[in-house]
Amino acid sequence: MLTQAYPYPFAGRPLPCLVGGELVSHGRTFENISPVNGALLATVTEADAALVDRAVRAARAALRGPWGRLSTAERCNLLRKVAERIEQRFDEFVSAEIADTGKTLEQARSLDIARGAANFRAYADLATARGSECFEMATPDGRGALNYSVHKPVGVVAVIAPWNMPFLLMTWKVAPALACGNAVVAKPSEETPSSAALLAEVMQEVGVPPGVFNLVHGFGPGSAGEALVSHPDVNAIAFTGESATGAAIMRSAADSVKALSFELGGKNAALVFADADFEAAVSGTMRSVFSNCGQVCLCSERVYVERPMHARFVDELARGARRLKIGGPYEGADLGPLISRAHREKVLSYYRLAREEHGEIVCGGGVPAFGDERDGGAFIEPTIVTGLAEDARCVKEEIFGPICHVAPFDSEEQAVQMANATRYGLTAAVWTSNLQRAHRVARQMEVGMVWVNDWYLRDLRTPFGGVKLSGLGREGGMHSLAFFSAPMNICVKL
């Protein structure tokens, strides 16, 4: 039943760090556990502060070496080779990602790993095509001057990634950072080290010079993460993860005034108007609530439906949720496990809280029983709740699991007000067939990204990020290139 279609690439060997072109696999280790059945997948080399320091020094040295002298075109050609090599080793990447996360084979193939390769190609193309500013100016002597800007790298960039889409989110930052000529020290989540370890191999295989891409494994506080973000010689931090972690990183980074780009948590709303295409709104909301077992920062955890459609919508959503097949990655399931038993405990605590806060659990609310090794995993039931007050903790706090609260609204103004009544501001989905309303409501959402009549439709050139507690700055397209570059103006007297 749990047939593993592709062998796990690190079976029987510890996952190494990569520092200055050297694979390091001695010292302290921690365990990488399968969320599918609780089995030990591999041990992982944990970088201590000394190894992180070596990685940062290696990155600094690489900037002064051949890497620093490559043209943008040469650098980007190397990144295209990284994309090609990921595609050649596609099944290994898929297997690594699936082993760490338990996500479905279909998603790992079509989204996570495919996008990982696409990130390198997209940023290679964008960086190659980028121009620069030029301003002619008058001078008192009439000769004039010419200002032009050059894009220099920021320097040593720390990339810190979460576990929900490990490879997609790490490459989303590593690719533009390298395209802009920086050197990177990357730290994947302690829950999902494997695809990053394969990326380290790929970097070596295609000839990325030593020190340009360094990989350190470990945890946050008191481990590799904290050592990296507080290192005085790191110039910029690109981080995706929880809002509270972003705040902690900001404090660590303050002393050396590092540039920060943060993609943080969300408590996203979907607004379904009574004039929406009912089937499309239900199936889109199913996707926006349950994709990746609800572990996507863009997922909707608050669904607001115009009152005349509310009861029918809840019924249909619950019918869909009950039909979802829960299971392991190679079983054609719709819903894999959560990332870990610890995260399942957190999500289950919200299932309990929803009852305590007088919500009605329309479906789900517990843990499935399989009667086989999957009972040792982190599976959980998709859950729909109604009847909570708008100030209930379940409506206010990010849960990051397959759960949503569905509430009715009576007017467009009320819908907008409810959607915006949160400290987060990442995404919103608006379902309506009224074109004017679509534009009007979309604009009023206090978020970084709105989808109208869809969800998670992504063009990599568009700005990506959030407002309020959901982030700082924008990535995507030229926004990423701007963050990872330090423009320098050169003024030439004519």
Q: Which residues are catalytic?
A: 263, 297
Question: Which residue of this chain has its Cβ atom nearest to ligand NAD in the complex?
Answer: 220
Which one of the spans 137-145, 259-267, 283-291, 310-318 is the region binding ligand NAD (CB under 6 A)?
259-267
Residue 241 binds ligand NAD (CB under 6 A): yes
Size of the site for ligand NAD (CB under 6 A): 31
> Nearer Cβ to ligand NAD, position 211 or 465?
465
Please enumerate in sequence order all residues whose Cβ is within 8 A of that of 115, keeping only pairs 6 or more positions apart, or say none: 168, 171, 172
- Token pair 């320097």 is found at 155
Encoded tokens for 238: 């690109």
Residue 484 binds ligand NAD (CB under 6 A): no
> Nearer Cβ to ligand NAD, position 120 or 400?
400
Q: How many CA atoms does the CB half-sphere of 466 hold within 13 Å?
A: 27
Determine the Cα angle at 160 with ends 25 and 26, to 5°.
10
At 413, the amino acid letter reads E
Interface pattern 433-472 for ligand NAD (x via CB under 6 A) = ---------------------------------x----x-
**Which of 201, 242, 412, 446 forms a contact with ligand NAD (CB under 6 A)?**
242
**Which of 45, 235, 245, 383 forms a contact with ligand NAD (CB under 6 A)?**
245
Residue 402 binds ligand NAD (CB under 6 A): no
428 neighbors 443 (Cβ within 8 angstroms): no
> Nearer Cβ to ligand NAD, position 377 or 473?
473
Other beta carbons within 10 Å of 116: 29
> Nearer Cβ to ligand NAD, position 200 or 229?
229
483 neighbors 259 (Cβ within 8 angstroms): yes
> Nearer Cβ to ligand NAD, position 117 or 228?
228
Minimum Å gap between C-beta 185 and ligand NAD is 12
Residue 398 binds ligand NAD (CB under 6 A): yes
Q: How many CA atoms does the CB half-sphere of 395 hold within 13 Å?
A: 23
**Which of 211, 265, 401, 402 forms a contact with ligand NAD (CB under 6 A)?**
265
Minimum Å gap between C-beta 422 and ligand NAD is 13
Pairwise CA distance, residues 319 & 484, whole Å: 46
In sequence order, what are the beta bridge partners of 493? 145
Residues 200-219 contacting ligand NAD, CB under 6 A: 219
Residue 189 binds ligand NAD (CB under 6 A): yes
Pairwise CA distance, residues 482 & 478, whole Å: 6
Minimum Å gap between C-beta 449 and ligand NAD is 10
Which one of the spans 25-33, 195-203, 236-244, 404-412 is the region binding ligand NAD (CB under 6 A)?
236-244
396 neighbors 426 (Cβ within 8 angstroms): no
Which one of the spans 156-164, 317-325, 384-392, 405-413 is the region binding ligand NAD (CB under 6 A)?
156-164
User: Which residues of this protein are in contact with ligand NAD, per CB under 6 A?
Assistant: 160-164, 169, 187, 189-190, 219-221, 225-226, 229, 240-242, 245, 248-249, 263-266, 297, 398, 400, 426, 466, 471
